Each structure stands twice: as C-alpha cells, then as structure tokens.
C-alpha cells in the first residue's frame, strides 16, 4: 500500500514538472508581449515596468496580418475537408473488405507514420507539376502528410462497428457508397471531429511547409508573417511575443473547448482497434 502511494506521489510530481515545462514558456511569451523593446530582449518572467499594450496595436495595424489569418484559415479548412473525406473512404474500404491488396495498402499508410517527410523531393515534385507556390500545392502536401494518421485512427475505430450492419444493409439492396454515407459515416463522427482538430492544429502551427513551398509572400500563412517583425539588426521582441500570442490564441481556445472530443476520439480509435 505504501509503495503504491509513493509511486502515485512520484507520478504526480513528474506530471507537475512536465506541466511547468509546458506552461512556463507560454507565461514568458505572454508577459514579454507587454514589455518595451529593452525589457522584452531580456526574456525574463518578471512583470513589465510599464505595460505596453501598443505592441498588439502595432500588429493589427499591418494589413498582411489579416491576410495571413485568412490564408491559414483557408488552407487549414481545405486540408481538414480533404483528410476527413479521403481518410474515411480509405478506412472504410480497407476495414470492410477482406482483400490482400487492401491490407498491403493499409501497411503503406502505416509506413507514412514512420518514414519522415523528405522536403527536397517534395519541392522538386511540386515544381515538375508546376504547382509550387500555389494554395493547391500546400493543401496536397498537408493532406499527404496527415492522411496516414487519420487512416490509422479510423481503421482502428471501424473495427468496433459490427459487420452485421453491413450484411443487413447489403441484403436490403444497399450499395457500398450508400452504406458508407448513411450507416458508417454517422457512427464515426466523434473520430472525424478528433481528426479535424488534430489536423487543424498541425496545419496552423506548421512553419516549414509554407516556408519551402510558398514563393509568394501574399500567400504566406500567419506563422510565416513573423518574418515581418524580425530583422537582422533590430528586433522589437515585445511585438514579436505579442504576435506569437495572437497566433497561438485561436488554436489554444479550440483545444480548451474541444479537448473532450480529442481525448474521446483518440481513446476510441486506440482501445477499440
């Protein structure tokens, strides 16, 4: 009994330490976003001598910030739609059809979770297809990168759906597409919401994808707009930190309000798989 209690104390302390490791950087960013150029350059955790709310005013005074938000929202929404549609269809066929070729295809999807993305061949491929620098190239890139995770999660969840539903529907004359749309799709909404949130967060926070694939600065996502506030010789870190708060805030709010769906979806996809 005492050994178990000691183990719980150790786990609680470890959890607190991990939480502090995550929260302290956020706290530093938030506090320094209200400091002037001299104080913010120290990267301290102390409260500012004089609160500089003008840092946030300077950010929204620039038109490219609004454009960056619009670009990020457009790309994220399109990727969420593509991943959910393609992954749910692929998972349905892989899990509901007993076929050796489809099982091989599933293993190829799993390899996509293990093998890292190689950016140089990706850039060359986009160039050969003459789509580099377009929204379409970035949407297809993110869809390909995030599709394996979604397929893995959805296949695991679909294993818990009884095959008797398929057999009954097929006996009634229901085709596979109608079976997918009217029976299977409503049952996997929870996992699709989880996939949508994870994909949205991944695309919104990514830096290297648009950095390498977007050649036109007017199509930059909000994360890349940080280049407009960082210079080689002089950087107002108060404004930079304020910009980081503005970028993080939407995703943080989404996670706080929808974390229950994330946990439920991930748990369903793992335990029932």
**What is the predicted pLDDT for the residue at 80?**
95
pTM, entire model: 0.83
Say if CB 200 and CB 251 are below 8 A apart.
yes
For residue range 21-38, list pLDDT tens digits in order. 888 888 999 999 898 888
**Could you give the C-alpha distances from 135 to 107, 199, 247, 264, in angstroms and in order?**
29, 17, 20, 32
| Whole-number percent of the chain with pLDDT over 90 | 17
List the chain domain ranges: 33-42+50-271
For residue range 84-113, list pLDDT tens digits in order. 999 999 998 888 877 778 888 888 888 888
Return the SS3 of 219: helix
Structure tokens of 23?
Answer: 């929260």
* Cα dihedral value 58, 61, 63, 67, nearest 10: 60
In terms of pLDDT, which residue wins out, 42 or 204? 204
Average per-residue pLDDT for the chain: 84
The CATH superfamily holding the domain 33-42+50-271 is: MetI-like (1.10.3720.10)
Please give the Cα distance from 75 to 135 (Å, whole number).
Answer: 7
Mean pLDDT across the stretch 6-13?
85
Mean pLDDT across the stretch 52-63?
81
Structure tokens of 112?
Answer: 């996509």
**What is the predicted pLDDT for the residue at 233?**
59
DSSP class of 116:
P
Return the SS3 of 173: coil
């Amino acid at each position: 009994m005492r050994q178990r209690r000691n183990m719980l104390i150790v786990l609680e302390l470890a959890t607190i330490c991990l939480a502090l490791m995550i929260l302290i950087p956020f706290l530093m960013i938030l506090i320094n976003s209200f400091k002037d150029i001299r104080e913010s350059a120290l990267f301290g955790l102390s409260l500012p001598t004089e609160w500089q709310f003008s840092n946030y005013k300077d950010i929204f005074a620039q038109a490219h910030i609004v454009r960056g938000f619009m670009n990020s929202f457009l790309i994220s929404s399109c990727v969420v739609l593509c991943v959910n549609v393609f992954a749910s269809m692929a998972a349905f066929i892989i899990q509901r059809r007993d076929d050796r070729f489809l099982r091989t295809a599933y293993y190829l999807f799993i390899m996509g979770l293990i093998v890292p993305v190689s950016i140089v061949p990706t850039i060359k491929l986009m160039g050969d297809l003459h789509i580099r620098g377009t929204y379409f190239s970035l949407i297809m890139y993110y869809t390909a990168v995030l599709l394996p995770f979604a397929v893995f999660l959805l296949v695991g969840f679909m294993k818990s759906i009884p095959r008797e539903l398929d057999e009954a529907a097929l006996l009634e004359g229901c085709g596979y597409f109608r079976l997918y749309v009217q029976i299977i799709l409503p049952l996997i909404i929870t996992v699709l919401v989880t996939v949508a949130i994870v994909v949205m967060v991944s695309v919104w926070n990514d830096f290297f994808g648009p950095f390498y694939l977007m050649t036109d600065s007017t199509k930059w996502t909000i994360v890349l707009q940080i280049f407009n506030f960082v210079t080689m010789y002089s950087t107002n870190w108060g404004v930079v930190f304020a910009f980081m708060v503005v970028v993080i805030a939407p995703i943080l709010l989404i996670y706080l309000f929808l974390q229950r769906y994330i946990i439920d979806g991930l748990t369903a996809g793992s335990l029932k798989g």
